[in-house]
Copies of this chain bind each other. A is one copy, B any other.
Amino acid sequence: MPTSTFFNLSQAKQQRLLAAAQQEFSRVPLAEASISKIVAAADIPRGSFYQYFTDKADLYYYYSEYLHKQDRHSLLSSLQAADGDLFAAFRDYFSQLADEIINGPNAAFYRNMFLNMTYKNGRRVTSATQKNHGHHGHKDFYAAVDFSRLKISTHHELGMLMHILMSALFQSLGSYYIRQQQGEQVTVAQLNQEFQQAVDWIEHGVAIN
């Protein structure tokens, strides 16, 4: 998390840093990002950067959360709209998100994000997804799930299921990028259909009978 010093900065300076973050993290994934390039773009002295952030990951996650706050969509609202149906929520969430991620102004950033999502930082993003809009995160989310439709009882099991659904979501996006890289034309509609398919499998099973 940024230091209090960062938050005391003028809005203008904070924005310069966020803009530089967007630029650099859209250019390359986190691991390859250069603090030198960021401070150059934001036009702040190198020493100052370390006064605000512990390292580039610190800025990266702050920027991710900042982006996420801009976003109107949330898995929780989809869940509430779907009356607690977890699968319907994921379907709805994905269809809202896919377009923004692929065609929105931050497409390059998301591309690097999804192609380089690891289990480690995936947890971080996932929990941000559930913590949106002033809610308390997991608790609120769990409370909104209609368990009566699921072969699931414990929170731990729900956690596992969420992970599987989330990976399916990442898979879909990841495969989109890869296929596009290989020259294949993939539409958002097609992608959407594939994700719906994956959710169907998890909801009703892939085995016959």
Contact = CB atoms under 8 A, between A and B. Distances in A.
Interface stretch (A76-84, A102-110, A145-153): A145-153
A58 interface: no
A94 to B, nearest CB: 14
A47 interface: no
Interface residues of A, number: 39
A150 B208 CA distance: 5
B116 A207 contact: no
Contact of A203 (B150, B164, B207): B207
Given A157-B197, A163-B175, A167-B171, A206 B119 contact: no
Contacts of A202: 164, 201-202, 205-206
A136 to B, nearest CB: 20
Interface of A: 31, 87, 114-120, 123, 148-152, 157, 160-161, 163-164, 167-168, 170-171, 174-175, 177-178, 194, 197-198, 201-208
Given A150-B206, A160-B171, 7 more contacts: A115-B120, A117-B118, A119-B175, A151-B207, A163-B171, A164-B201, A203-B206
